């Protein structure tokens, strides 16, 4: 069946049109600890999960900066929904690392959702025609509404791990239909509750050889999007940038009528509130500019069919960490500026925003502890590099 094509402008307009709906459903999203069915279907119909689908298939094959803008727009309304889109739209990217026939088989439609963890928590034993996989993986964001699930594994042959020539086990990813995976309902958190990032597991599951992929060059597809194995990461910045933008806009709005007691003065006329808003705008503007400048430099390098330099890789990673940490600082500052009213979830969105920020700051590629590794890169230190740059 021929699917309607959508370009960036179409999908961006759809994202903006969803804002009111996502805000209205925010309490239900939190309470469900996953995206409710109606939310998933609205996102799917709006084309939010096809962002990385190849042009040859009729997909938009958006560049990272466009993906960030879309995720950012969704995050202004609901960070959990934006996070699920950020993860779920990896379908098209992963398809580029499979043979064409296998990719078409596992992704027969453009708007399919993928979930999965990059942590190699599974064991894949080589057997005739494929692998027998057993394992349990954490942080399966969107797992409850996924169509396809990724299983990151250590490869085994005859009971022993397959080792690289320079030492260390060989890992890979595998894609399977979501119906073959058991969800472990253990996502009980304070922040990002609606992402449904539960564990998931399989036991002795046969995975055909054709569904195994490695995020190592060269990819099976020629587009710029597949010239770097970490090109699925930049869009993560859209969530904190959108969350911080929403917090600033919200506080500006409520300060128009909020009155200090007993003085009776409007909060917007107070120097401390004025300074807080200016400080927040300054921090967000700097963080956002760093994200887009680093991303565009890296993309420009890939367009010339070159690999990014150490400096460019470091900036790309640093900009993501900075965006996340800055967003949390902004939200905390505004929470304090609003005062006691901020603790009431029905009066402001700052309670949820702060909980969400504390949680997304703990993601592996956005924690402050990653600065050690990035600093090691820049110093040329004798330290192993993680594959997130």
* CATH class of this structure's domain 114-213: mainly beta
Q: How far apart are CA 312 and CA 321, in angstroms?
A: 14
Q: Where are the domains of the chain?
A: 8-106, 114-213, 233-379
**Dihedral angle of Cα 51, 297, 172, 161, to the nearest 10 degrees:** -170
pLDDT tens digits, one per residue of 247-274: 999 999 999 998 887 888 898 999 999 9
Q: Burial, 259: exposed, middle or buried (Cβ in 10 Å; 0-12, 13-18, 19+)?
A: exposed
| Per-residue model confidence (pLDDT) at position 189 | 96
* H-helix or E-strand spanning residue 161: strand 160-161
Report the distance separating Cα 323 and Cα 241, nearest Å: 6
Question: Which among 377, 362, 285, 293 has a CA at the least distance from the CA of 324?
Answer: 362
E strand map for 212-354: 212-213
- At 218, give phi and psi (nearest 5°): -85, 150
* CB < 8 Å & 24+ apart, contacts of 213-216: 213/94, 213/97, 213/98, 213/172, 213/173, 213/174, 213/175, 214/97, 214/172, 214/173, 215/97, 215/173, 215/387
C-alpha–C-alpha distance, residues 99 and 90, integer Å: 16
The fold adopted by the segment(s) 8-106 is Butyryl-Coa Dehydrogenase, subunit A; domain 1 (1.10.540)
pTM score, two decimals?
A: 0.96
Q: What is the pLDDT along the chain (389 residues), one digit of tens a residue?
A: 457 899 999 999 999 999 999 999 999 999 999 999 999 999 999 999 999 999 999 999 999 999 999 999 999 999 999 999 999 999 999 999 999 999 999 999 999 999 999 889 999 999 999 999 999 999 999 999 999 999 999 999 999 999 987 888 999 999 999 999 999 999 999 999 999 999 999 999 999 999 999 888 789 999 999 999 999 999 999 999 999 999 999 999 999 998 887 888 898 999 999 999 999 999 999 999 999 999 999 999 999 999 999 999 999 999 999 999 999 999 999 999 998 888 887 778 999 999 999 999 999 888 999 999 999 999 999 865 555 56
Give CATH for domain 233-379: 1.20.140.10
Q: Same topology for domains 8-106 and 114-213, yes or no?
A: no
How many residues belong to the chain? 389
Residue with token string 């995975």? 207
């Amino acid at each position: 069946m021929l699917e309607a094509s959508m370009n960036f402008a179409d999908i961006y307009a759809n994202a903006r049109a969803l804002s009111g709906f996502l805000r209205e459903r925010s309490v239900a999203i939190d309470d469900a600890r996953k995206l409710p069915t109606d939310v998933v279907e609205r996102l799917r119909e709006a084309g939010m999960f096809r962002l990385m689908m190849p042009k040859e298939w009729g997909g938009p094959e958006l560049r990272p900066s466009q993906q960030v803008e879309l995720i950012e727009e969704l995050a202004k309304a609901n960070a959990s929904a934006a996070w699920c889109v950020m993860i779920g739209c990896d379908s098209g990217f992963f398809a580029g690392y499979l043979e064409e026939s296998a990719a078409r088989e596992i992704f027969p439609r453009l708007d399919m959702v993928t979930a999965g963890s990059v942590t190699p928590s599974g064991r894949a034993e080589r057997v005739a025609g494929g692998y027998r996989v057993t394992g349990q993986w954490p942080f399966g964001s969107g797992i409850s509404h996924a169509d396809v699930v990724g299983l990151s594994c250590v490869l085994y042959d005859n009971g022993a791990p397959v080792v690289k020539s320079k030492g260390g086990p060989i890992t890979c990813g595998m894609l399977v239909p979501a119906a073959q995976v058991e969800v472990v309902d253990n996502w009980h958190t304070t922040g990002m509750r609606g992402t449904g990032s539960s564990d998931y597991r399989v036991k002795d599951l046969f995975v055909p050889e054709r569904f195994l992929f490695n995020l190592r060059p060269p990819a099976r597809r020629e587009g710029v999007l597949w010239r770097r194995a970490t090109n699925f990461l930049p869009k993560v910045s859209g969530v904190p940038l959108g969350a911080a933008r929403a917090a600033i806009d919200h506080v500006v709005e409520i300060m128009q009528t909020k009155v200090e007691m007993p003085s009776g003065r409007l909060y917007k006329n107070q120097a401390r509130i004025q300074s807080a808003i200016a400080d927040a705008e300054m921090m967000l503007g700097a963080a956002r500019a760093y994200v887009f400048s680093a991303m565009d430099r890296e993309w420009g390098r890939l367009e010339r069919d070159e690999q990014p330099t150490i400096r460019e890789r470091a900036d790309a990673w640093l900009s993501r960490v900075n965006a996340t940490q800055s967003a949390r600082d902004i939200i905390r500052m505004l929470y304090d500026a609003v005062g006691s009213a901020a603790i009431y979830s029905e009066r402001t969105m700052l309670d949820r925003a702060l909980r969400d920020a504390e949680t997304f700051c703990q993601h592996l590629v956005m924690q402050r502890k990653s600065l050690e590794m990035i600093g090691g890169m820049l110093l040329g230190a004798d330290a192993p590099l993680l594959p997130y740059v």
